[in-house]
Amino acid sequence: MEKKMRIMTERPLNAETPIPSLRSWITANAVFFDRNQSEIPSDKISLEEWRLGIDGEVEQPIEITFDQILRMPKAIVSNTLECSGNGRSLLAEKASGNPWTIGGVGNAVFGGVWLKDILDMAQPGRKTKHVAFEGLDKPLGSAGVKFIRSIPFEKAMSSSLLVYEMNGEPLPLKHGYPLRALALGWTGANCVKWLQRITLLDRPYEGFFMDKVYRVYQKGDAPESGNVVTALKLKSIITQPLPDETLPAGPVTILGAAYGGEDGIGAVDVSVDGGRNWKPAEFIGPHEPFAWRQWQFVWHVVKEGAYRIMARATDGKGRQQPMNAFWNVLGYGNNGVQEHAINVQIGSSGASAAF
């Protein structure tokens, strides 16, 4: 089976995971999607010289060595990471940005330390509201803006990690070696790679990557007026069959993955008739907070023809995935059931639709 990344841009490197590689609970590092605003740093980073600085609204600014981090209590957490713009190319109305289909997402087991344990070492001050992360990557383009992002102090202290391991390997260079931030259940943009400095602030960080992008806004509105993209939105993707595949009649195992960031997944329902009738899918594989759930639905198809398959997720609180995406200028958070439907052909192509 073809398992090559679909490269959207080479410089910076933006590439999506091939659909067959999304059929596993763990997404292998070699095919885990790549999303970069800047140049990936050189692999010459020396762990001896590397330091993580923590400053800003703290009682005690500190510099931590990599060795100190390795000696701290360890956290191992599985987390589904998705780019805010994943699914953008499937929107009915065009939105600007990388043309992701469904492969701007992956699930990995990360090893590292709780961010709280690191921040506590610097003794956060009372005024702290946000935590800003800065990476080693050098900006591309004339604007020369560094990728700096901040998350609320509460999120940083409750459910965020600094990770140095991914799926049992040292964090690969492309994914932020030697250390990256991971705001569990939040989109990739909140998870700064090649981390070198953390600054505690009394307000959100102000800068291009906070104010102009990763904001949900409509045409004619100022980007700053929109909400910042945070948690993953409830969604289900279909990973088997592939879109527009032709299959013989007989049993077809429909596979997919459903994820909902912080609220988990309660159920997935499948329709093979364009949304008229729905039947529950069955979950397969591990079930962990912050990680997607793989599901399957065995479809016994006897009649040749064209079919439209849809999947709809329900979260742990009973809320359902919307039938249609909420459109916005930068095409973030496409979680529409309709947008993620696929068409397949059963039997010889050319046979007409059964409905």
Residues found near Mo ion in the complex (CB under 5 A): 35, 83-84, 188-189
Q: Residue 291 touches which of ligand MTE, Mo ion, none (CB < 5 to 8 A by kind)?
A: none
Q: Residue 315 touches which of ligand MTE, Mo ion, none (CB < 5 to 8 A by kind)?
A: none
Nearer of residues 26 and 192 to Mo ion, judged by Cβ: 192
DSSP 276-338: SS-EE-EEES---TTS-EEEEEEEEE-S-EEEEEEEEEEETTSPBPPSS----TT------TT
DSSP category for residue 137: P
Three-state secondary-structure class, residue 65: strand
Nearer of residues 114 and 147 to ligand MTE, judged by Cβ: 147
DSSP 144-180: ----EEEEEHHHHHHHEEEEEEETTEEPPGGGTTT-E
Q: Residue 193 touches which of Mo ion, ligand MTE, none (CB < 5 to 8 A by kind)?
A: ligand MTE
DSSP 186-247: B-GGGS-SSEEEEEEESS---SHHHHTSSEE--TTS-GGGSEEP-BPPPEEEEEES-TT-EE
- C-alpha 297/C-alpha 282 separation (Å) is 6
Question: How many residues are present in the chain?
Answer: 355
Nearer of residues 229 and 270 to ligand MTE, judged by Cβ: 229
Nearer of residues 153 and 332 to Mo ion, judged by Cβ: 332
- Residues 181/192, Cβ–Cβ less than 8 Å: yes
For residue 64, the minimal CB distance to ligand MTE (Å) is 18
Nearer of residues 13 and 267 to ligand MTE, judged by Cβ: 13
For residue 145, the minimal CB distance to ligand MTE (Å) is 11
**Residue 12, preceding bond cis, omega within 30 degrees?**
yes
Residues near ligand MTE (CB under 6 A) are 32-38, 81, 83, 135, 137, 147, 175, 188-189, 191-194
Nearer of residues 229 and 238 to ligand MTE, judged by Cβ: 229
Q: Residue 191 touches which of ligand MTE, Mo ion, none (CB < 5 to 8 A by kind)?
A: ligand MTE
Sign of the CA dihedral 90, 184, 231, 156? negative
For residue 125, the minimal CB distance to ligand MTE (Å) is 25
For residue 14, the minimal CB distance to ligand MTE (Å) is 9
For residue 231, the minimal CB distance to ligand MTE (Å) is 14
- Residues 256/238, Cβ–Cβ less than 8 Å: yes
For residue 209, the minimal CB distance to ligand MTE (Å) is 8
For residue 278, the minimal CB distance to ligand MTE (Å) is 31
Nearer of residues 97 and 241 to ligand MTE, judged by Cβ: 97
Q: Residue 34 touches which of Mo ion, ligand MTE, none (CB < 5 to 8 A by kind)?
A: ligand MTE
